[in-house]
Each structure stands twice: as C-alpha cells, then as structure tokens.
Structure 1
Amino acid sequence: MVTARPSTSSATQARPLPIDPAARRAWDIAATVTDPEIPVLTIEDLGVLRSVEVEDGGAVHVELTPTYSGCPAMDAMRDDVVLALTHAGYADVDVKLVLAPAWTTDWMSEDGKQKLREYGIQAPTGHAAVRGGPVRVRMAVKCPRCNSLNTREIARFGSTSCKALYECLDCLEPFDYFKVL
C-alpha cells in the first residue's frame, strides 16, 4: 500500500510527498474537489484532505478532516471525492472522516487564503491557540476590498458557521471573515 500525506509537519503544506505515482495521481484528483460553500477553495486549499492511500489492487482510501463538527459541506465533499476518483477510473473508493486531530485554520494553504481574499472573504489572521499555549487575542480584520483595518464585526456568524460578518467603515462594504479556528 502506498500513502500520500502532506510533505512536512507544517499544517499549511498542501502538497503530498513525492512518492509512488499512483498515490500522487489519486491525491491530485481528490485535491481538485472544491468546497461547496466556498467554491474557489479546494479541499487541499482548506487542508481537509489529510491522506490518500492506494492499495496494490487499486482500492483508494481517502481521509478528510471536517472544518468543524457538523459541517454541512462534508457530505458533499465526501461524495465529490468519490465521484472524482471514480470518474478517473478508480473502482473502489472509500472516504473516511477523521476527527482527530481537529482541523484548524492553520492547515489552510497560503494559496487558499489568497483565493479567499480575492473572492471577497477575509482569510483568517493569526494562528489557532493550542492547549496550554498562548491565549488568542482579537486581531484587526482587514477589508478584502480596500485593505482598510477600520472594520467592525456585525455578527459573530456569517453565511456559514466558520465565518463572521464584518463591515468596513471606510468603503462601507460588508464582508465575511473566515474565523481562526
């Protein structure tokens, strides 16, 4: 069995190790699946694609970590991964949700964060606190349209639970902010 996993322990590293071509091909196919709630982001950009294994017989095992418990997009992501790999010729595809370690916005790729900003959603700023680690402080949130830091939170929850709704006090535009989780 060949396994493709992110190439370093860095959570933001999105590419798998340069290993067996079969596992790399399956990873690359699964990595094209997009988040149905934020279609400019792939599951690789988000960091929810955790591992891909290809057995000698061709069976593919994929592990995804939900962005948060109960995320409604996970069923669609799982189905889309199965569909993408099936269309690519893999007959036996299994997708498993892995809850530990819990997903964190630290796992998002820098490319994914840039895609969010270009889409009009401010990417998470800072890093998630770890048990026994630093206490998270609220940082200024930059407007993705005019880059002003003169913003305010309108609602703790935006269009999805993982986002908050903000307003820019300079350009007066509302925008989503992807919360640090």
Structure 2
Amino acid sequence: MTALQISPEHIWEALAGVPDPEIPVVSITDMGMVRDVQLDGKKATVTFTPTFSGCPALRVIAQSIEDAVKGLGVPEVEVRSTLTPPWTTDWINADARERLRQYGIAPPAPAGEGLITLEAEPTRCPRCGSLNVSMTASFGSTLCKRLYVCGNCKEPFEGFKSV
C-alpha cells in the first residue's frame, strides 16, 4: 500500500494494534486516547489525549503512534498531544473494560457528570466479583490507579480511578 492508498480507517486500524505501554492487554484506541486522524497527501496527523497529563509514557505513546503510521508507508507523521478535552475513563470501550478485569485490574465506574469527588466509588474485585473490598493505597503502580484487597478472596488488586 502506498501513502496515497491509505485512508484514515487504515490508520485507525494500525493504531488499534498499539498497546497501552503500561497495560498491554488494551490498546491506545481501546482506552480512547486517540482523538483524531487526518490525512493530507503524504502527511498524517494523529492527535491523542494522554490518560494523565503527567503520564511518564507520553514519549513512548507518541513514538509508537509514529511507528505504527509510518509502518503503513506514510512518509510524514505528526503526532500531537492535547489535554483539551481532558481524558476521561468514560472513553474506555466496553471490551477493554472486560479485558482489564480479566487482567486483574478493576475497571473504573462511569465518571458521569459533575464534580470530581474525593470519595472512592464502589469497586468490585476483578477476580471474584465481590464488593467487599478495602482500599489499601490511594496510588497504585500508576497515578491513575488505587490498590485494593478483597475481603472475600483475599487477593490484592489495582483499580482504575474514575476521572
């Protein structure tokens, strides 16, 4: 395929194969990070919103996007990141939520409308499904997750914060 034969749909398909660098069972499109794909002749512009403004994987994500698009034969790729609108956990698709759960990470509850609350939303254990869980730390392996332990199966797990 040449750059002139490539459509935005081809680019979206390629980006669907780019894993989230911190959670390899979901892609950057599954997580709703890719906001826009534009083609102008031999140049592609991909705009993405990171899940967290201070995400340490920003450069990795941008390079992975560029590599995936160039892998299609597009000679010039511009990768833009934007914080407007801010990413929300509501952008995670349903299939990705289930893969997160199977991977052992409690998917976030819908963020919904309104103000961010300081109280954690009810979290279900991704292993046994129990709501009998306790938060053990406000931050997990990344700032967007919390650490929990299940009171029923006694397993520790991470859960996404709803934003």
> What TM-score do you get using the length of structure 1 for normalisation?
0.82
Is 1:94 aligned to residue 78 of structure 2?
yes
Give the aligned partner of residue 149 of structure 2: 167
Identity %: 41
Give the aligned partner of residue 10 of structure 2: 25
**Cα–Cα, structure 1 residues 107 and 141, in superposed 2: closer, same or farther, change >3 Å?**
same
Is 1:75 aligned to residue 59 of structure 2?
yes
Structure 2 gap ranges (5+): none
Distance 1:160 1:129 in 2: 24
Match runs of 1:147-162 below 5 Å: 147-162=129-144
Q: How big is the shift at 1:75?
A: 1.2
Distance 1:139 1:98 in 2: 27
Q: How big is the shift at 1:113?
A: 0.6
Distance 1:128 1:66 in 2: 19
Aligned-pair RMSD on alpha carbons? 1.8
Partner residue of 2:27 out of 21, 26, 42: 42
Structure 1 gap ranges (5+): 1-19
Q: How big is the shift at 1:84?
A: 1.0
Native 8 Å contact 1:129 1:135 kept in 2 = no
> What TM-score do you get using the length of structure 2 for normalisation?
0.91
Q: Which amino acid aligns with 1:42?
A: S
Native 8 Å contact 1:31 1:49 kept in 2 = no
Is 1:141 aligned to residue 123 of structure 2?
yes
Q: Which amino acid aligns with 2:28?
A: I
